[in-house]
């Protein structure tokens, strides 16, 4: 059922496939996806809003029906019509809720986070597809936000900001970008602290303020642990070999 | 002009020259405007002429320094933006745009504006434009430079890869020396 919906959406909305890493950085690109817990989180939020809308739609009519049913002065047709309206409302609401659930699922699936040595790229969206590209040289702020339900599920949002303000409307829960285009969100990731550390380490290499200065002077390059692992392994092998050589030479 | 634009898509080897040639948006941008105006309802009588002249007068120019956009017939607007000042690049497309094969490239500088300073709309080669801008924005350069140390983050890996090879060669050299030494100690008279 859902796969049919997804296929139809992909076909009719022309949802593009997985994003390409920025040119020149293909080798170092790491692709993240939102954590599976993020889907649970989205479903919980869906459940809350759906429950609330049902409550809002049904309670007033229920009360009216109860009053009319009690009051003998009204005819049965009025009550029947009201019940009919309520049934119709229920059907529409359920249909809408199911559609939104499918949309939530699709939104979770169509979400990619790319981090390379020099930049990050976030793709999200179903009807409107957005792809954001920041270079680490331009990033000003990193912050991790986590609500109570997110903490329970062990996920968090990482917010990345570049310079420039503006009072754009705050992004909605499932959006990466609100109206403020200087802000991007890694929504629902379970390694927010690790990713924050990674981006912060990349940012540290830049001496300037990230406000458009020409980047022809930089701090001395720091060895990054991930990149230097194989380097160290090779060093150790050379050391072992040199040791064996010394022992061979020391033999009488 | 159109033929040249189309041929750019098939020649990704020289994306820069293709981007420099871009000037007028595709005719499908006009279609997009019409669809949007129809969807906007009764306001179509105001929005359609406005967008018609916008489509007619919209001009972009990419050069070595930056992007220039010119638009408007009564009220003219000209935006100039240098590549080095670009803060972030957004690629945004609604599904109607995707039907027409278009997307908006929203380019921003560090101004106090929450919206985009410059929107490049109406080009089919939006991905190429985005990659072109990316390669010229701050912090993205480096692969054209011979000095790998000038690029933080990228440099350790690049240096690491080469030096691992080198280290392995040194190890092999050491190993051969040791083996030679061992054979000599086993046959001292050789």
A227 part of contact set with chain B, CB < 8 Å: yes
User: Could you give the CA distance from residue A35 to residue A189 in angstroms, rounded to a whole number?
Assistant: 5
B99 part of contact set with chain A, CB < 8 Å: yes
| pLDDT surpasses 50 at B9 | no
Per-residue pLDDT, A224 = 47
Average pLDDT along chain B? 79
Residues of A in contact with B127 (CB under 8 A): 20
CB-closest option in A22, A119, A163 to B87: A163
| pLDDT surpasses 90 at B148 | no
Q: Which long-range contacts (CB under 8 A, 24 or more apart) does A23-29 make?
A: A23/B131, A23/B134, A23/B135, A24/A118, A24/B135, A24/B140, A24/B142, A24/B143, A25/A116, A25/A117, A25/A118, A25/A119, A25/B154, A26/A116, A27/B157, A28/A116, A28/A117, A28/B154, A28/B157, A29/A114, A29/A115, A29/A116
Record: contact A117-B94, CB cut-off 8 A: no
Q: Report the range of poorest mean pLDDT among A74-78, A240-244, B145-149.
A: B145-149
CB-closest option in B114, B156, B157 to A182: B114
| pLDDT surpasses 70 at A28 | yes
Record: contact A166-B153, CB cut-off 8 A: no
Record: contact A24-B143, CB cut-off 8 A: yes
Which residue has better confidence, B12 or A231?
A: A231
pLDDT band at A214 (very low <50, low <70, confident <90, very high): low
CB-closest option in A166, A179, A245 to B112: A166
B43-81 pLDDT, tens digit per residue, is 899 999 999 999 999 999 999 889 999 999 889 999 999
Q: Report the range of poorest mean pLDDT among A211-220, B5-14, B64-73.
A: B5-14
Per-residue pLDDT, A69 = 72
Helices within chain A (DSSP H only): 2-12, 36-70, 76-109, 148-153, 192-204, 225-250
Per-residue pLDDT, A102 = 94
| pLDDT surpasses 70 at A179 | no
Per-residue pLDDT, A108 = 93
B57 part of contact set with chain A, CB < 8 Å: no
Give me the residues of B, 125-144, that contact A with CB < 8 A.
127, 130-131, 134-135, 137-143
For B185, name the nearest residue in chain A, comparing CA atoms only. A252
Which residue has better confidence, A207 or B67?
A: B67
Which residue has better confidence, A28 or A233?
A: A28
Record: contact A135-B110, CB cut-off 8 A: no
Per-residue pLDDT, A173 = 46
A198 part of contact set with chain B, CB < 8 Å: no
A209 part of contact set with chain B, CB < 8 Å: no
A122-162 pLDDT, tens digit per residue, is 999 888 899 999 888 888 889 999 999 999 999 999 999 88
Q: Report the range of poorest mean pLDDT among A54-63, A207-216, A243-252.
A: A207-216
> What are the distances in angstroms from CA B189 to CA A39, A247, A249, B185?
76, 21, 16, 9
DSSP state for residue B100 in the 8-state scheme: T
Residues of A in contact with B88 (CB under 8 A): 132-134, 138, 162, 181-182, 184
| pLDDT surpasses 50 at B145 | no
Per-residue pLDDT, A77 = 77
CB-closest option in A127, A130, A248 to B95: A127
pLDDT band at B160 (very low <50, low <70, confident <90, very high): low
| pLDDT surpasses 60 at B2 | no
Residues of A in contact with B39 (CB under 8 A): none
Secondary structure class of B87 (helix, strand, coil): coil
B105-144 pLDDT, tens digit per residue, is 999 888 777 778 899 999 999 999 999 999 888 877 654 3
**pTM value?**
0.71
User: In chain A, what percentage of residues exceed pLDDT 70?
Assistant: 82
pLDDT band at B85 (very low <50, low <70, confident <90, very high): confident
**Mutual orientation of helices A76-109 and A36-70 as an angle, nearest 10°?**
170
A17 part of contact set with chain B, CB < 8 Å: no
Per-residue pLDDT, B155 = 42
- Taking only Cα atoms into account, the Rg of chain A, rounded to an integer number of angstroms, comes to 28
Report the relative pairing of strands B88-93 and B77-82 from DSSP bridges.
unpaired
């Amino acid at each position: 059922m859902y796969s049919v919906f997804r296929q139809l959406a992909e076909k009719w909305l022309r949802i593009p496939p997985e994003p390409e890493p920025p040119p020149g950085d293909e080798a170092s690109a790491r692709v993240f996806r939102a954590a599976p817990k993020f889907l649970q989180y989205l479903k919980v939020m869906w459940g809350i809003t759906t429950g609330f809308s049902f409550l809002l739609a049904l309670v007033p009519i229920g009360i009216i029906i109860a009053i009319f049913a009690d009051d003998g002065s009204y005819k049965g047709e009025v009550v029947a019509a009201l019940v009919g309206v309520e049934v119709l409302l229920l059907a529409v609401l359920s249909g809408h809720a199911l559609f939104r659930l499918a949309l939530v699922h699709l939104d979770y699936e169509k979400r990619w986070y790319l981090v390379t040595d020099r930049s990050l790229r976030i793709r999200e969206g179903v009807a409107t597809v957005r792809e954001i590209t920041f270079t680490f040289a331009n990033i000003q702020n990193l912050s991790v936000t986590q609500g109570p339900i997110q903490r329970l599920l062990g996920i968090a949002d990482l917010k990345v900001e570049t310079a420039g303000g503006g009072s754009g409307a705050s992004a909605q829960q499932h959006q990466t970008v609100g109206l403020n285009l200087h802000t991007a969100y890694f929504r629902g990731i379970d390694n927010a602290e690790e990713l924050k550390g990674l981006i912060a380490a990349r940012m540290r290499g830049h001496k300037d303020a990230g406000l458009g200065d020409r980047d022809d002077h930089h701090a001395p390059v720091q060895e990054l642990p991930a990149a230097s692992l194989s380097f160290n392994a090779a060093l150790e092998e050379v050391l072992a070999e040199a040791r064996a050589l010394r022992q061979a030479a020391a033999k009488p | 002009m159109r033929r040249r634009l189309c041929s750019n898509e098939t020649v990704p080897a020289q994306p820069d020259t293709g981007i420099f040639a871009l000037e007028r948006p595709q005719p499908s941008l006009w279609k997009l405007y019409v669809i949007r105006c129809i969807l906007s309802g009764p306001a179509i009588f105001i929005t359609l002429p406005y967008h018609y002249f916008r489509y007619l007068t919209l001009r972009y120019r990419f050069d070595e320094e930056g992007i220039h956009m010119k638009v408007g017939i009564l009220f003219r607007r000209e935006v100039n933006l240098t590549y080095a000042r670009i803060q972030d690049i957004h690629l945004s497309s609604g599904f109607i745009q995707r039907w027409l094969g278009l997307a908006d490239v929203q380019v921003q500088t560090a101004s106090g504006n929450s919206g985009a300073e410059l929107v490049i709309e109406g080009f089919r080669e939006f991905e190429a434009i985005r990659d072109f801008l990316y390669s010229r924005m701050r912090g993205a350069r480096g692969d054209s430079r011979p000095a790998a140390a000038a690029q933080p983050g990228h440099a350790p890996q690049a240096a690491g890869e080469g030096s691992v090879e080198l280290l392995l060669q040194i190890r092999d050299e050491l190993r051969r020396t040791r083996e030679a030494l061992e054979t000599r100690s086993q046959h001292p008279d050789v």
